[in-house]
Structure 1
Amino acid sequence: MPQEHGFFSGEPSTRWMTEIGSDRKMQLLEDFAFTDPDGFAWEVPSGYEVDGASIPKALWSLVGSPYTGDYRRASIVHDKACNDAVGDIALRRAADRMFYHACRAGGCTPEEANTLYLGVRIGALGGVVPLWSLGIEESFTPKPRTSIPPSEKRIEADFRVASELLLRQGVTDDPFELERRVDAAINTVSGQ
């Protein structure tokens, strides 16, 4: 029997924000929520501004930006959950597991959701892994550029190796097993 992954409250109603710099935020015009398989509603209030920051921009060319594809709605609730979890490792892990379920509920295949989960875990650890920290910061540089900085190339290279290690084990649809596998893959590539 397939695992139930939860459901969204509907379609998000948003508007793009115009701001100084990168113009990467959008604002919710109505309340929006994702209810996970345990029945917990991850709510995002009207007026909340989403920036898609939980997957480093260095990985967008590999997994897609948070504003495209079947994980758009998952990125909205995940952004809010990550902001609520700042400084709390257990809450951030719960938010990342919810993101996995929301990706699946949004239409992502298990393989896509496994890869996206790896991306958000790298984003979560950006401040802990010194070789990733600068690349995460540079992701928010608003100016156009003609090349990818070495720090972002490092994140991309580590992601590629970690995803190969992860997918070599086969795809799982269990977020707790996925968490264990991703932790091991990240530990291998980062030494953290």
Structure 2
Amino acid sequence: MLSTSNATFSPVEDRILDAAVSCVVDFGVERVMLAEIARRAGVSRPTIYRRWPDAQSVLAAALTREITGVLTRVPSRGEGREALVERIVRVARELHASRFVDAILDSGPKLVMTYVTERLGTSQYILIEALAGELARAQAEGTVRPGDPTQLATMVLLTAQSTIQSAHMVEPILGGEDLARELTYSLNGYLKP
């Protein structure tokens, strides 16, 4: 199972993150203010500052929680490459359907570009680590091609991430089930021995 142990939050932190998510959905990334997050969470700004240095850090934590939450809610339906690819595609579909992720993609180009072109974020590292473990097990049973599992996991992440980010753009050509089918084909082809 893909691990999500790096992304657990206290009840107060969950309230703060819930408030941040609602702010992003209502106002967009650029207009999220720490004072509004605090008001919606029913906490003081110092309570937030004890946990995160600024609103962008709160949003990054909320995104990590969203992604790891999806991993937890979308269980594996078997062993090996095909089951792993099927789970990756289901996770990608659920993230694509997330109002929070959608709002970030629509209203936070600077935030998105940071994690597309400049550096990996916490949730990306969590995904790579979890995928690498699953890929190593699938390699041991012979359903995934040889290669460094971390490198393979990173390429899978790039492929799925790009699919999520561009899904709205290509929807008239390749939407819904068609996109899921082609992502499945692409990942199976890449990982097949």
Do they fold alike, i.e. is TM over 0.5?
no
Alignment TM-score, normalising by the size of structure 2: 0.36
**Which structure shows the bigger proportion of residues in strand conformation?**
1
Q: TM-score, normalised by structure 1?
A: 0.36
The structure in which a higher percent of residues are helix is 2
